[in-house]
Amino acid sequence: MTFSLTFSRIKSILKVLCHGLGWLFLFALLVVSIHLKSPYLFAYRSYETPFLLLIACVLIPFCFLKFRHIRRVISLTLLLAVVMFTLWGEGAFQYRRNAVMRVDAAVADRLGQHFIVGYEDVHELQPLVSKGLIGGIFVTRRNTEGKSFEALQQEIAALQRLRADAGLRPLIVATDQEGGIVSHLSPPLERMPPLSSVIDNSDTQEALLANAQAYGERQGRSLAALGVSVNFSPVVDLKLEHTSNWLDFHSMISQRAISADPAMTAAVAGAYVKGLQNQGVLATLKHFPGLGRVTSDTHHFSASLNVAADELQHNDWVPFREVARQNDVLLMVGHVILSQVDQKNPASFSKGVIQGIIRNGWQHDGVLITDDLTMRAAYSHGFCHVTVSALNAGVDLLLVSYDYEKYYEMMFCAIQAYESGSLDKDMLQRSDARLRRLWP
If one compares 252 and 45, the residue with the highest pLDDT of the two is 45
**Residues 160, 299 within the same domain:** yes
Measured at the alpha carbon of residue 380, what is the angle toward residues 379 and 381, in degrees to the nearest 5? 85
Domain housing 227: 104-438
Taken in order 200, 203, 204, 209, the sign of the CA dihedral is negative
Q: What is the pLDDT of residue 240?
A: 84
**Quick one: angle between helices 105-112 and 406-420, nearest 10?**
110
**Residues 268, 354 within the same domain:** yes
Domain boundary residue, one of 49, 67, 98: 98
**Residues 217, 309 within the same domain:** yes
- Tell whether the model's pLDDT for residue 258 goes beyond 50: yes
State phi, psi for 233 to the nearest 5 degrees.
-165, 150
**Residues 259, 124 within the same domain:** yes
- Find the helix or strand (DSSP H, E) in which 74 lies: helix 69-101
**Residues 266, 286 within the same domain:** yes
- Tell whether the model's pLDDT for residue 243 goes beyond 60: no
If one compares 153 and 249, the residue with the highest pLDDT of the two is 153
- The domain spanning residue 138 has which CATH number? 3.20.20.300
Measured at the alpha carbon of residue 282, what is the angle toward residues 279 and 283, in degrees to the nearest 5? 115
**Residues 271, 297 within the same domain:** yes
**Residues 186, 245 within the same domain:** yes
**Residues 79, 111 within the same domain:** no
Q: What is the pLDDT of residue 66?
A: 85
- Tens of pLDDT along 100-113? 999 999 999 999 99
User: Which residues make Cβ contacts (< 8 Å) with residue 282, sequence separation at least 6?
Assistant: 229, 230, 231, 276, 328, 329, 330, 438
Domain boundary residue, one of 80, 98, 116: 98
**Residues 189, 68 within the same domain:** no
Average confidence (pLDDT) over 146-173: 96
Taken in order 370, 373, 378, 384, the sign of the CA dihedral is positive
What's the DSSP call for residue 348?
G
- Tell whether the model's pLDDT for residue 5 goes beyond 70: no
Q: What is the pLDDT of residue 296?
A: 86
Query: In percent, how much of the chain has pLDDT > 70?
Result: 96
Q: How many domains does the chain have?
A: 2
Please tell me whether residue 412 adopts helix, strand or coil conformation.
helix
- pLDDT grade for 97, boundaries at 50, 70 and 90: very high
**Residues 116, 214 within the same domain:** yes
- pLDDT grade for 7, boundaries at 50, 70 and 90: low
Q: What is the pLDDT of residue 1?
A: 45
Mean pLDDT for the chain? 93
**Residues 274, 169 within the same domain:** yes
**Residues 33, 130 within the same domain:** no
